[in-house]
């Protein structure tokens, strides 16, 4: 029983390594030679095509950049997979693409779940990811033993696409709340309030939220937050923008009114264009403090 792992990048590489460490036989593929070589050093059997990785596998795990990558790959390998193969997509992609991918797999007689994650590269390395899962109960049941090698929290959110829906709704809250916390620090500064004083009040009052108390965007109040190391590490602004855009696409598709998230998306698009995609998303406070 082998596991095929397709997409051995920042997240997929350490996830595949954790499956190997848990005793699974993992066959992997990534078109980027460096990613493939690093996975090989960690015990993954690296092959030269997705089809070669999937041949004979009972589980196919994907960790890819976008819905297009996932759908293109499923179209290629689903028809040749052994009957009853479990397709487990951990990428963050559009809800509609997740549903289309699951349909492709299910129509061919396979099991399918969408299982996007939160916890970032650190969680992927430590095996402490949170999984938000969409799919039929039988598919969830088949996926769970593998997910247990990769994460520490699992929420079955509903049918296909429900995992992606939960992920983008959560990250909508995250993007909007980080902008709100950052605006408060920008305004507080102009009012002569120290960052510490605002933190001491808001962190124990009704302004309390993860963006403030764990990922505080200004250096000082929360020593472990990325602001204390020039916003290196953490959750990249480019990924925040990606997830906000996925939320906007879903809002447009369903007619939901997400005015604040739309504005946060515009702010992050401007920030990423100016600052680049790499720094932690809390660095948006630096622009909000400069502008205005």
- Tell me which residues touch ligand NAD (CB under 6 A): 6-12, 29-32, 35, 50, 63-65, 69, 73, 91-92, 117-118, 120-121, 235, 239, 242
Least spacing, CB of residue 139 vs ligand NAD, in Å: 20
Helix (H, G, I), strand (E, B) or coil at 234: coil
Strands 117-118 vs 129-134: parallel, antiparallel or unpaired: antiparallel
Least Å from the CB of residue 273 to ligand NAD = 19
Q: Which of 125, 228 has the CB closer to ligand NAD?
A: 125
**Nearest approach, Cβ of 154 to ligand NAD (angstroms)?**
15
Helices (H), the chain: 12-21, 33-41, 50-54, 67-77, 95-107, 120-126, 137-147, 162-190, 195-202, 210-213, 237-254, 259-275, 284-290
Of 31 and 109, which CB lies nearer to ligand NAD in the complex structure? Answer: 31
Nearest CB to ligand NAD, comparing residues 120 and 207: 120
How many other CB atoms are found less than 10 A from the CB of residue 196? 11
Which of 99, 167, 242, 279 is catalytic? The answer is: 167
Q: How far apart are CA 116 and CA 246, in angstroms?
A: 13
Cβ neighbours of residue 191 closer than 8 Å, sequence gap 6 or more: none
242 is an active site residue: no
Element housing 175 (H / E): helix 162-190
Task: Rank residues 164 and 286 by Cβ distance to ligand NAD and give the closer one.
Answer: 164
The distance of closest approach from Cβ of residue 287 to ligand NAD in the complex, given in angstroms and rounded to an integer, is 21
Two structure tokens written together for 103: 């349909």
Residue nearest to ligand NAD (CB): 9
Residues belonging to the active site: 167
């Amino acid at each position: 029983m082998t596991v095929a792992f397709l997409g051995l990048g920042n997240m997929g590489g350490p996830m595949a390594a954790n499956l190997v460490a848990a005793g699974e036989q993992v066959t992997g593929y990534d078109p980027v030679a460096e990613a493939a070589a690093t996975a090989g050093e960690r015990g993954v059997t690296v092959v030269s095509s997705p089809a070669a990785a999937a041949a004979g596998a009972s589980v196919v795990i994907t960790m890819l950049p976008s819905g297009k990558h996932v759908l293109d790959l499923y179209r290629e390998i689903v028809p040749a997979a052994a009957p009853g193969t479990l397709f487990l997509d951990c990428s963050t992609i559009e809800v509609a693409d997740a549903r289309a991918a699951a349909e492709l797999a299910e129509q061919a007689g396979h099991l399918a779940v969408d299982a996007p994650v939160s916890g970032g590269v650190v969680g992927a390395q430590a095996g402490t990811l949170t999984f938000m899962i969409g799919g039929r109960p039988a598919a969830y049941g088949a996926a769970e033993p593998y997910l247990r090698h990769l994460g520490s929290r699992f929420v079955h959110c509903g049918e296909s696409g429900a995992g992606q829906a939960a992920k983008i709704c959560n990250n909508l809250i995250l993007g909007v709340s980080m902008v709100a916390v950052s605006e408060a620090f920008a305004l507080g500064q102009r009012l002569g309030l120290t960052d510490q004083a605002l933190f001491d009040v808001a962190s124990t009052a009704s302004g309390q939220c993860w963006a403030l108390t764990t990922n505080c965007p200004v250096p000082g109040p929360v020593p472990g937050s990325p602001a204390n190391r020039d916003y290196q590490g953490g959750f990249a602004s480019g990924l925040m923008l990606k997830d906000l855009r996925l939320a906007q696409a879903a809002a447009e598709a369903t007619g939901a009114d997400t005015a604040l998230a739309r504005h946060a998306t515009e702010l992050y698009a401007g920030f990423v264009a100016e600052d680049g995609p790499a720094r932690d998303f809390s660095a948006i406070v630096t622009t909000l403090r400069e502008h205005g």
